[in-house]
Structure 1
């Protein structure tokens, strides 16, 4: 996920001062154990989801510290530290060197549920529109609008949204396809959602890690979506998601739970509702992990493990002429 996502959100929550509190100046050292202890302690004091994920971080320390030894190569040290971070089961957690980047791979927790070529060949004509980050066209004899949104690039604006929504203003409903959308700029979330509400709406809460204890958080702060002063869409919207829908995609999916005209369909998202921040190890490698929690309307952090769909539908890979998830969405809107 791009740096812009967590920067904008933390600013929006007026929590930027916490970065100075959470991340101290680094002490230069190439000693493997110094770097191991530094990274483990940083996570221990600042990672946001130990309790929800039932992670015994002390046990992790015992297991991985046994793999640290004097004289180990940089590659070996990276592999140990990177593997330790994957124990957090969080794709907002990375170790970054000039020769490798550690990742978890949350999208592999579920099957693939999207193939753009199938949609192009069997649902959209070849003259579909590309408006900024949106690919779109009519379906079902122009009764339904289909909008593919593959990432949150930070380029959603009034011009492209006005064109898209004006084009489909007379449809029965819209299908907004966020499958395999790995995230991006949080500003896009609100720029899109404010086109589908008629009044200021509470969509979730957010809190940030403020102390060294695993459960030391700020008070939960409300997050709202307010209606756009211009073209808005009032009919039903089906939002398609899967395990590859992550980070900003999951924030968007969480928000749909508060909006009665939106239905979430497909598979559980990949999660990624904790915004990342990080720092530098004594040897110069950098790291990041989640330091905030996005909470449901009843102030629970449970959807970090994935936002469940309102209607679950999976792809059948034995028939490559049909997208079962898209077909179900069309049926829902007819």
Structure 2
């Protein structure tokens, strides 16, 4: 069963949402994670995990594409390199009402490379341009691209502006740039997020070179203060990945100030907001750990954070685990705070 938008989104709305976004992360940013993140920020743009075009064409569409209307604004990230397949996937996904469709040109994993998509496509900008043209032809929302500054021995100073020029000519109006190279041989996906040096200055220069192209920066951003700095420097958005997952409270609670919105619930209010959602999930034969695994970092840096994590980690996967376990985990936080 599809879940359509509760509000009509516009290009302007999505563009504004890009001021802060949470990166698409495999095995992490599923629908439960996104719903949880949405309780902390009403404004930030949230992304699905990458879904391949072929999975959408041939796989269980509802399982891959369903989400809660409360997640808006939310973007679907696709992986693929065959224009016709990507166009078909966009066409299939249209009834689900995502606010944006994004093409992955940044993931360096071996699995992605073997399918000739992800970061390896930085070597084939003309093909990427064909892909996004095909996607745009079937989309009723913005089509964006998430890329690297280059791969392997490419010179980013040459490769990135050429890539962006191809994107602009193909009709792309917003690009998210992970400010690191990807090394397709010799580094693991984890190492590719940490080892290649960040080059934020190059991303800033690309904004000056392409003033009409909206550009967001990704890679190594761990705080709202950093995100604000990039916005002040002239970029259109900042995308935060692992920090938004491991310490969501510090990144997302209060983030709506970037839009002049004072919404900033405390962590306990976030837990309360999750209760009806968790109860519905459990009533539908879901397991508690499917949701609470995304909530482990909520109290990071606060007294009782370890007890919160331990209680949920040890108990949420057990048969029959329910909301009472969350109460016990909260007791750990409250007891530590009172000590």
TM-score (norm 1): 0.30
Structure whose residues are more often strand by fraction: 1
TM-score (norm 2): 0.30
Larger relative contact order (Cα-Cα within 8 Å, sequence gap ≥ 6): 1
Answer with 1 or 2: which has the greater Rg. 1
